[in-house]
Amino acid sequence: MAESVASGPCIGILALQGAFEEHRKIVQELGARTVEVRLPDDLDKDLDGLIIPGGESTAMAIVGARHGIFPKLKAFVQGGKPIWGTCAGMILLSNRAIMQKAGGQPLIGGLDVEVCRNFFGSQVSSFEVLLQLEGAAAAGSLGSRGPVSAVFIRAPAILEAGPGVEVLARVKATPCAQARHCVEEVYREQQKQREELLQREGRPSAPPPSVPTAASEDGARGRGRSGGEKTCMEREEDGRMEVVVAVQQGHLLATAFHPELTPERWWHQYFMSMCSQQAQTASKK
């Protein structure tokens, strides 16, 4: 098991499968110490944060179950230290996921979002775009900056987010046919809940909007949850959809793309700043 000896924050890299080596090299270049996390005890090594890399989420779940690490990962999420899930890591951190393989897969959970697995299609549909940052990413501790490059490879997309989830970036792209079908089912269920809410409150029924909205103020979103949720998708006339691809919920960061595959280091710097701030706060207690 690889462990570095740099002097910066100590970042764990979940090393069950996927692009953990690429993340490890980048955070070490930025001055962090790293620990490759494979077994439950690896999470006890005084980590300041954890990266769950991209790869194959089903394979990660299978290997993680074999090593018995999932209960410890779920406890680590509840512990409050920063965790960053990229691509497959975003899926594993999500509370809900659709378009899973037959039989489903275990999720670590903790991030109050619903994701659509493999929203953008197969590997031949991979693409790179510039993302305009929003929220804390646009005006955080690293200061304001222009668009950031992002690589999407068999990537998920966020369809719904709870009220405590902040959107950091969106993208407009054409979903694969299976994802479009799943999205339509989600949308029909949202509209059904919307009508049920109007009936319970005695308000007149209103015609549903022709497209999903990027945010909702009524409590009918969220597939049976408590209300206040927002949808994170909006149709375009050319068949594309605008979907959310980066979010933050307190100490949890998730990106649908692969920041480790671009020369830019912005997202790694952003996560390391989260880890440093958390470590400083903990040291004052």
Q: What angle do CA 36, 115, 94 make, to 5 degrees?
A: 45
Q: Three-state SS for 86?
A: strand
Beta-carbon contacts of residue 215 (< 8 Å; ≥ 6 apart): 230, 231
What is the domain-level CATH number for residue 216?
A: 3.40.50.880
Residue 125 φ/ψ region, left for φ over 0, alpha for ψ in the -120 to 50 degree band, beta for the rest: alpha
Residue 147 lies in a domain: yes
Q: How sure is the predictor about 237, in pLDDT bands with cuts at 50, 70 and 90?
A: low
What per-residue confidence (pLDDT) applies to 58? 83
Residue 55 φ/ψ region, left for φ over 0, alpha for ψ in the -120 to 50 degree band, beta for the rest: left
Helices of type H across 159-265? 177-200
Residue 256 lies in a domain: yes
Residue 144 lies in a domain: yes
Structural domains counted in the chain: 1
Q: Of residues 114, 116, 251, 258, which has the active-site annotation?
A: 258
Q: Is 258 designated active site?
A: yes
**Number of CB atoms found within 10 A of residue 59's CB:** 14
d(CA 206, CA 7): 60
d(CA 94, CA 20): 19
Q: Of residues 10, 23, 87, 268, which has the active-site annotation?
A: 87
Residue 1 lies in a domain: no
Please give the residue range of the domain that contains residue 194.
Answer: 10-284
Residue 2 lies in a domain: no
Residue 4 lies in a domain: no
Look up residue 24 and give its two tokens. 């490890």
pTM above 0.75, yes or no: yes
pLDDT tens, position by position, 154-182:
899 998 899 999 999 999 888 888 888 77
Residue 3 lies in a domain: no
What per-residue confidence (pLDDT) applies to 250? 94
Q: Of residues 229, 260, 268, 275, which has the active-site annotation?
A: 260
pLDDT tens, position by position, 102-133:
556 789 999 999 999 889 877 777 889 999 99
d(CA 205, CA 180): 27
